[in-house]
Structure 1
């Protein structure tokens, strides 16, 4: 598969002519060749988006007209759903059951949701005592740079593209240089449905060059970034060049609080899903499990038994329950965290190694890993690992659980499991996190805002907030006739 960039309505090579290979993380095989862009390619894409926005070719369309394009994109995604799910698995390493049941369907839902939302957006109007009128309207921000990660390539792209286009902006999308395949397929659809040239642009290349240019450029009015907190801080700093609007969805070290009154086996399975789904490569992963003292030892033992039975394998297999990590560099980072946990004295309950048997030797597989008897000062407790590594802590009571849960620089997500709904609601109200669950984990809905507190980010994706973050609000005050102010004596 040959992947190029899509700039100003044309498929183009990188200006340098450079290309790079994309590999399947399950077996190391080359699956595609992609244009490897740089700063000049980003500038070219930004220029096209700027020209298209200033022309009004997109922003001057009615909300209904823009929505019609989004519906068409959703329809074409649905027609190609099987192919897209396979390609996402091939490129990312995740299991096919996830791309089939979640990643692709959610992307489709997102385009339809924002098509509906923008059509329903109404202006506000207020009549004043002096018979003047104030109208509040929403307008597009302008050129939006969208930087999306490698863990949910198509879904995260949809989360940003759909509201940005619905609002009337023009866009430059930069997918991860590791996982550009589904973005390429999405832009083939964007071309097919006839979105005007320059409105939607795809630029490929490393974040240090392409992403930084999107953040720094004076011609970009907003940048939206999903990824690690340190990179998010760099994006935020670069965006001060013209005080551009920013949305940052960053890291997490999310707690799952398990009380001793839960359905034991169901709770164990939910804890597994909270951390091992997508091999732990989820910003909101339940990577800190807090278990009440009376069931702590039994829970850790049973969790390890179940984790050791997880079917780890090539994501293309319907039997696989956990796939490969997306790239070799990241796998080695995860393994270094595991080594750190052992050196700092945490008890390794299960896993803790790269898997290289039964056909996995060429892939980037890490065994489901659980540490117990940890303390708050350990790196594996404090820092985001972004892999299939769980740390388990014990707690005494509500107060202790809340204190431990909030003891983090992050505040993306959190959950509590208990049969006592009053207790659950008390705890959720005190969790410093933007996404919370009671007796479930990882469920997400396109109509509800997604984002975090503290160093987990700024702003929200999804829901009505996701659309508002791509729009400016304008106040218009109307007097039918000019009247004297009556302020000055002469």
Structure 2
């Protein structure tokens, strides 16, 4: 479905080479034979380029991380904390410029980008402090001469593969706990959004962090991940992306029994009961659903409205959705930017068409934006669908776009069963004032995270992650630090005491 006509009005080309480098062993690396051009999804213009690193480049980065591991791991937590806090300081000072850069390459509104950077700095500071609290244990022995201790030590070199939808936060959420734990890292950012990654690493290098502790390689995900998976010195891989790719990584990682953190796909339901605050529910749902143009892993995929309030809730959601302003992220007062690329836009269009063909009503939106300022980008009108049923693809696939399907339900057991009838288990949301129901829902919903009377889940102190085919491991909280630590059991027998 399209609306409007295409136009041609290319914008002036910016400095493409400002961030054209990789970071290996504390040095800028620009010797790649080829480069990757990065395009603004709102305008289609080239906004930068980075080297197209290869397997040899990735191997050099692993070498550097491996050589730096012992020295970094032996620093005190307080020493590592100083580098992390300096990194956060620099991100906060450069926040506005970084937000503009992120908006140009990813498309999200500058205000959203700035919020992502604020949250990233908070994650760094939280782990800078949490790294000081890596406590061991002393366990009573079984004999008078026996002393049992448990130490927590860094897992080693970590390969990190990050996505394009939150290109700063996803790097920070992995790098901060790993560095705080004493691990060294090699990061491979998404090829759609590598510029913000290079900029963040520039700020990290400016702290004077020891060479080789943090490395960044840009290029083919398949080629670089192949090095991560085949090199025995890479003891852990942290990946955020599709379940399909996550399964492939898990299968190959099993050969060397590498540690894994996988944050994968999700089909998140929100369930709204008649006793809920409907104004709060509608605002929270729209805020979550259309954040980052719907391209959020824990974003709401389907809205289950109790049949007693289905019409009222739908009207509130439609009204709020119609008020959303769509445009390039660097324009003032824009609420929603573009989808990341043409493929994503066409996929959303297909899901809406399938729903309409199977009986859904399009209450607002339902078409691509193509005229005037939208002509060169990947824009889709914020869309609300009602009369949605379980046979529609929007109920079975991760939408990852600005489409809000509303389905109705009659009772608690029914909606729990329908919500759990998915291989995914990342996040779920519930709106109700009934405390007993809150406990029943939280206990029975098969998801790694459940939010009640709100839709915000990402905070530094809590464990973010899913179950089932939504992945394993956690980002956030002391649990996120644990994912970068090995336990070592020490059994000490004292001399001269017998036994």
TM bucket (normalised to shorter chain) is over 0.9
- Say whether 1:49 aligns with 2:62: no
Give the superposed CA RMSD.
1.6
Q: Distance in 2 between matches of 1:443 and 1:97?
A: 19
Please give the residue correspondences for 1:3-22 in structure 2 after superposition, counting only pairs within 5 Å.
3-15=20-32, 17-22=33-38
Secondary structure in structure 2 of the residue aligned to 1:359: helix
Quick one: distance in 1 between partners of 2:110 and 2:329? 5
- SS, match of residue 477 in structure 1: strand
The Cα shift of 1:286 comes to: 1.0
Deviation at 1:378, TM superposition (A): 2.4
Deviation of residue 218 (structure 1)? 2.4
The answer (yes or no) to whether the contact 2:36–2:191 under 8 Å persists in 1 is no
8 A contact 1:254–1:284 mirrored in 2: yes
1:488 counterpart residue number: none
Q: Among 118, 124, 130, which residue is 1:117 paired with?
A: 130
1:465 lines up with 2:465 in the alignment:
no
Q: Is the 8 A contact 1:144 1:220 kept in 2?
A: yes
Give me the whole-angstrom Cα distance separating, in 1, the residues matched to 2:136 and 2:423: 39
Contact 2:305 2:408 in 1 (8 A): yes
Match of 1:213 in 2: 227
Shift of residue 459, structure 1, vs aligned partner: 0.9
Contact 2:156 2:235 in 1 (8 A): yes
Shift of 1:482: 6.4
4+ long deviations beyond 6 Å:
none
Which residue does the alignment assign to 2:323?
309
Q: 1:145 aligns with which of 153, 156, 159?
A: 159
Counterparts of 1:222-301 in structure 2, within 5 Å, are 222-301=236-315
Post-superposition shift, 1:41? 1.7
Q: Structure 1 pair 320/137, CA: closer, same or farther in 2 (3 Å)?
A: same
Deviations 1:331-374 (A, max 9, x none): 22222222332334433332221112341111111111222222
Cα distance in 2 for residues equivalent to 1:386 and 1:354: 15
- The answer on whether the counterparts of 1:251 and 1:283 sit within 8 Å (CA) in structure 2 is yes
Partner of 1:396: 410
3-state secondary structure, aligned to 1:287: strand
For 1:86 and 1:312, locate their aligned partners in 2 and report how far apart those are by CA, in whole Å.
17
Quote how far apart the aligned CAs of 1:112 are. 0.8
Residue matched to 2:13: none
1:49-68 aligned at under 5 Å gives the runs 49-53=65-69, 56-68=70-82
Q: Which runs of 5+ in 1 are unaligned?
A: 486-490
Q: How many Å separate the matches in 2 of 1:482 and 1:147?
A: 52
Q: Which of 425, 438, 442 is the aligned partner of 2:452? A: 438
What TM-score does the superposition give when structure 1 sets the normalisation length? 0.94
Structure 1 stretch 2-11 or stretch 417-426: which is displaced more?
A: 417-426
Question: How far apart in 1 are the matches of 2:330 and 2:62?
Answer: 37
**1:443 positional shift:** 3.7
Gaps of 5+ in 2: 1-15
SS at match of 1:449: coil
Within the candidate set 44, 49, 52, 1:33 is matched to: 49
Secondary structure of the corresponding residue to residue 150 of structure 1: coil
Q: How many residues align?
A: 481
The 5 Å alignment of 1:55-454 reads: 56-100=70-114, 102-131=115-144, 132-454=146-468
With 127-136 and 473-482 compared, the bigger mean Cα shift is at 127-136
TM-score with structure 2 setting the length: 0.93
Tell me the distance in 2 between the aligned counterparts of 1:212 and 1:373: 45
Partner-residue secondary structure (3-state), 1:221:
strand
Q: 1:417 to 1:204 in 2, by over 3 A?
A: same
- SS of the equivalent of 1:317 reads coil
